[in-house]
């Protein structure tokens, strides 16, 4: 059963990596809608991974409880050790892909905020940002 949960967790991580890589490709081309469309799929995959991780933890805990005299490495098969190693690698890959995507999101966010500030200048009034009274670019005509 542990091997089954490990395979499922690996599959979910690989899917999350592919989805995030698609997001990176789309943000580079300013395709926002596909990114937003994939949000629910990403959330589902993340929930699925978390559930499988909980099952993996439960299975390992059960193995250790049933065999208190044995160390964990002795309880797991060679295949399970390899799957756990793969899980670590894929988690690291996901972290790296997410970092790259986060950098791009931050760059795009700063770009849009800069454009907005130039179009509609704002000033701080206490903790609130409000449009300044003299926007130099905007003019309202009736």
| Rounded Cα distance, 59 and 72, in Å | 12
pLDDT in tens, the chain (142 residues): 999 999 999 999 999 999 999 999 999 999 989 999 999 999 999 999 999 999 999 999 999 999 989 888 898 999 999 999 999 999 999 999 999 999 999 999 999 888 887 777 777 777 777 766 555 555 656 6
**Token match 């390992």: residue?**
60
98, two tokens: 């997410």
82, two tokens: 């390899």
Contacts of 98 (CB under 8 A, 6+ apart): 20
Q: Name the DSSP letter for residue 137.
A: S
Cα torsion through 12, 91, 14, 21, rounded to 10? 120
């Amino acid at each position: 059963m542990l091997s089954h949960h490990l395979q499922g967790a690996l599959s979910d991580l690989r899917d999350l990596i592919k989805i995030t890589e698609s997001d990176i490709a789309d943000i580079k081309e300013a395709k926002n809608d596909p990114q937003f469309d994939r949000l629910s799929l990403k959330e589902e995959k993340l929930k699925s991974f978390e559930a499988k991780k909980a099952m993996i933890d439960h299975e390992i805990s059960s193995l250790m409880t049933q065999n208190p005299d044995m160390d964990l490495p002795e309880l797991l098969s060679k295949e399970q050790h390899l799957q756990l190693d793969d899980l670590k690698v894929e988690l690291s890959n996901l972290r790296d892909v997410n970092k790259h995507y986060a950098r791009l999101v931050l760059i795009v966010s700063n770009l849009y905020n800069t454009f907005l500030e130039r179009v509609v200048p704002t000033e701080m009034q206490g903790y609130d940002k409000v449009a300044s009274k003299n926007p130099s670019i905007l003019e309202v005509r009736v």
